[in-house]
Homo-oligomer: A and B are copies of this chain.
Amino acid sequence: MLALMMDRPLTLPSILEHAARYHGEREVVSRSVEGPIHRYGYADALSRVKKMAKALLALGVKPGDRVATLAWSTHRHFELYFAVTGIGAVLHTINPRLHDDQIVWVARHAEDSVLFFDITFSEQVAQLAPRIASVKTLVAMTDRRHAPDGVLVYEDLIAAETDDFDWPELDERQASGLCYTSGTTGNPKGVLYGHRSTVLHALALALPDAFDLSARDVVLPCAQMYHANAWCTPYAAPLVGAKLVLPGRQLDGPAVCELIEKEEVSFLLGVPTIWVGVADHLDQTGGTLTSVRTIAIGGSAPTAALISRIEQRLGGQVRQIWGMTETSPLGVINTPLPAHGGETEGETLQRKLKQGRGLWGVELRILGEDGRELPRDGRSSGALQVRGPWVSSAYFKQDGAAAFTDDGWFDTGDIATIDAEGYLRLTDRAKDVIKSGGEWISTLDLEDAVCSHPAVAMAAAIGVPHPKWDERPLLLVTLRPGRTAEPEALKAHVAERVAKWWTPDEVRIVDELPLGPTGKVLKRELREKLAISATASQS
């Protein structure tokens, strides 16, 4: 027997309609690519979104068509989040930090028909667009004055329309967004989000034990809008009526600090490297922030030293999350339980090093090498698999990817433990694992240990072949500006903090570590470089 409740679909336009009606004056503030700060309320945003939706229809965009963006986090990108999806098309947010060949590859794979781009990328687009046969329309996300020749202009499209527009009826399972993971191996893989998955994820994200978002919040996502939809905050913020601050292209310390101070930001999110930059800037200026309540950190695991530094400098509490493009991205979040009320400062910090606990909606399991589920004892470490209504079921145009199990789980490629309280702790990426004498050594634990040394900025542990133990760890570190340290002293520092057989055979100080397009250390590249250097030294 079916319920007798209204069959209202969960769709993205309903979010902005709600925000416009109940939080019409609440601002979306963005640092424009042209320079100045742009600000308007959700009611004005909706009006422009409706005009853009009509413009897209006039350009011939059909339901299911892929519309690409090569753009930073700005109000125009925000408008496309709703205009493109609201007419049933799919917003493909291309990561501009990809190599040109990869940009061409994903745009061809997605069969994008329209490409919206920020003027930062005008020359790049002029070169690349001819290589993407499917793209028939180019739109510069600016006004006539700033636009290059020979393309359509965003503000002209808006100006040509009125805002009398009713959204079409949408199936909530319809695709809404396409985001390729910047895979460190193989070709990029397309994650195809839907209206339903995004709305459910936005609801869960706003819950008190997740991001705790209300109409009183000011949200500044320091993950770009091409990076797992800026962790879905451009949808979650209007859903609850929070003020949304979009940082444009500038995620350096001074630019982010300026926005936090001027807009009284309460909620921040981003990868660890962003907060290093902010903390460095505050160190230099001696400035103090007063409005921040929470800094959500994900993308890669911060060290204990970095968590302490960020909390001291930014004045809020760090909440680590774990997630992936394939999980929309929220998988787990580190929110304290009532039982943690009596923690010492040290215990709090140790807890914050874990990635977090599952919220309703995301199921987790860890499997041993024999494929059997492992106990949640905080020690047994295995392959992390997840399941839930905002988790990918397949990659776009790629049948039978091994990451999707026959029994309906997504194999994340991460290695993790889960403890009795339900806290997930990543020990490795499966592909980065160091296996020594038949046992796993956690690269994250090694990196954490060396980063607790005051001279260390960043670290990366990788496995190097060893005739007896198969692999032994090598620890590469960069130093903080103006600091010095001897490799042997760093090795001794690590030795005090990890099991004896985990202690790396060598700690090597390097000038820099190669970072991928989302700020993660590219360990594959490190391994490749080292193989060359090893050969060189042998010759």
- Closest CB in chain B relative to A525 CB, distance in Å: 29
CB-nearest residue of chain B to A376: B21
- Whether a CB of chain B sits under 8 angstroms from the CB of A499 is no
- A1-36 Cβ-contact flags toward B at 8 Å (1 or 0): 111111110100011001001100010000000000
A209 B240 Cβ-Cβ under 8 A: yes
So how many copies of this chain end up in the complex? 2
- Whether a CB of chain B sits under 8 angstroms from the CB of A154 is no
- Contact A18:B215 (CB < 8 A) given known A4-B191, A175-B4, A208-B206: no
CB-CB under 8 A from A102, the residues of chain B are none
- A379-404 Cβ-contact flags toward B at 8 Å (1 or 0): 00000000111111111100000000
- Closest CB in chain B relative to A83 CB, distance in Å: 17
CB-nearest residue of chain B to A191: B4
B422 A389 Cβ-Cβ under 8 A: no
- Whether a CB of chain B sits under 8 angstroms from the CB of A174 is yes
CB-CB under 8 A from A394, the residues of chain B are 4
Measured CA separation A360–B12 after assembly (Å)? 11
**Cross-interface CB contact of A360 among B15, B191, B197, cutoff 8 Å:** B15
- Closest CB in chain B relative to A348 CB, distance in Å: 15
CB-CB under 8 A from A209, the residues of chain B are 214-215, 240-241
CB-CB under 8 A from A337, the residues of chain B are 215-216, 241
CB-CB under 8 A from A241, the residues of chain B are 209, 337
CB-nearest residue of chain B to A64: B1
B6 A393 Cβ-Cβ under 8 A: yes
Interface size on A, residues (CB 8 A): 65
B5 A389 Cβ-Cβ under 8 A: yes
- Contact A10:B389 (CB < 8 A) given known A2-B173, A3-B176, A3-B196: yes
- Contact A360:B240 (CB < 8 A) given known A176-B3, A387-B6, A393-B4: yes
Within 8 A of B (CB), among A163-222: 171, 173-176, 191-197, 200, 203-204, 206-209, 212-216
Q: List 29 A-B contacts (CB under 8 A).
A: A1-B174, A2-B171, A3-B174, A3-B175, A4-B191, A4-B194, A5-B392, A5-B393, A6-B387, A6-B388, A6-B390, A6-B391, A7-B173, A7-B393, A8-B387, A8-B388, A10-B200, A10-B389, A14-B360, A21-B358, A22-B422, A203-B204, A207-B214, A207-B240, A208-B213, A208-B240, A209-B241, A215-B337, A239-B360
Question: With A1-B174, A215-B337 given, can you name 8 additional A-B contacts, CB distance below 8 Å?
Answer: A1-B64, A2-B171, A3-B195, A5-B192, A5-B197, A6-B389, A14-B360, A214-B335
